[in-house]
Structure 1
């Protein structure tokens, strides 16, 4: 994945219009090492081979508290269906109270032009044969063209009704009911400890995770490894 800059920060594009932007970080691999060594009143200025072995030991043995002294802050722009799956992960995660924060833009106040995730005809997937969740093989191209067309018409009609409601004076928090929700892009800040990020990556980089959120997890992984290469090498399997 290519790293570009948006608003002066490293960013990875995802899907047709989405992205993950690294807003800020607190700490690096050395932060983890120093948090672990404070028990012996030790502090390092540079990472060496012994420190890398220490990180490996901490991850292998489940001594995770040193990984919570570093944190990462991302800005994410994704379809609502991705955002809600991500949020369910945060709520259900055992690390939710370890420096995890989530702030999302709201259409109660924001009336900017809606943006939607529109799949190309060759991106639609069939329902799996032996499972109630996930997806299977790509649909036939002819069917994909028809389904993409229906989605575009549905979105256009929703946008038209949304604008009409605003024009006649309906408040934004109610007018948004006309917008097709699950494909609409939303923007949020996600701040998490390094341990929480690693847990998210282990869950959402898995082969059976929803394909769309896998793309976002890959972007988070690429950006996070710039500052935490040794820690994530050991934490993300």
Structure 2
């Protein structure tokens, strides 16, 4: 299952392990008990675990997702791995050191460029005037076109791919592909942070896609974790 994001990006559900029942049973093992199907009692247990911050049972349910996202999104996302308070995350990314991948970039359309906020040093405000947005899009396209020409020239001239990639344009807007395998706890932390209305628009869109993909797998647990 795949959900398209932005102009060229997407999030795809690759695999998952467990569900709400896995959360319940990993908690009940302390008492040598196991549920075969989810009951009202089990739902109450999940609510208790989430409300009281007992997170270890939520680490026994995992998802594996594939992202195709601009680097500015991928690097924001990455800090949820390096800053995780547990070790239930894995990250593998496509490498231009080993292969030459078609260069694709996130290109905002003229009406999609946002102004800087009036009362904050980060984030964005209302859309800029269309004429300014059109100029920004044109300037970005010119940079990308020239950069791709330089990158292709380097490869054709025999320069190693690991160095030729230095000529690739628009580093923050260039798309990259990666796999993220994470526990339900880690996913919920990411969603709590990046579904927030004041998070960057682009990563919000990826968080919405993650939520749509993961929610059906863990309907009770995710709902409760996003309350906490």
With normalisation by structure 2, the TM-score equals 0.97
Q: Structure 1 CA distance, aligned partners of 2:162 and 2:205? A: 30
How far the C-alpha of 1:132 sits from its partner, in A, is 1.2
SS at match of 2:13: strand
How far the C-alpha of 1:93 sits from its partner, in A, is 2.6
| Corresponding residue of 2:150 | 161
| Corresponding residue of 1:74 | 65
Aligned pairs, number: 226
How far the C-alpha of 1:186 sits from its partner, in A, is 0.2
Superposed CA RMSD:
0.8
**1:219 correspondence with 2:219:** no
Q: Which runs of 5+ in 2 are unaligned?
A: none
Q: Structure 2 CA distance, aligned partners of 1:80 and 1:173? A: 17
Q: Structure 1 CA distance, aligned partners of 2:129 and 2:210? A: 32
Question: Alignment partner for residue 116 of structure 1, among 105, 115, 122?
Answer: 105
**1:86 correspondence with 2:77:** yes
**1:28 correspondence with 2:19:** yes
Q: Which stretches of structure 1, 4 residues or longer, exceed 2 Å deviation after superposition?
A: none
Q: Structure 2 CA distance, aligned partners of 1:104 and 1:116? A: 17
| Corresponding residue of 2:116 | 127
How far the C-alpha of 1:215 sits from its partner, in A, is 0.5
How far the C-alpha of 1:144 sits from its partner, in A, is 0.7
Q: Structure 1 CA distance, aligned partners of 2:30 and 2:80? A: 32
Q: Structure 1 CA distance, aligned partners of 2:99 and 2:130? A: 37
How far the C-alpha of 1:112 sits from its partner, in A, is 2.0
Q: Which runs of 5+ in 1 are unaligned?
A: 1-9
With normalisation by structure 1, the TM-score equals 0.93
Q: Deviations over 1:45-90 (max 9, x none)?
A: 1111111111001000111110011111001000011001111222
Q: Structure 1 CA distance, aligned partners of 2:101 and 2:49? A: 46
Contact 2:72 2:173 in 1 (8 A): yes
SS at match of 1:44: coil
**Aligned pairs (5 A) from 1:128-147:** 128-147=117-136
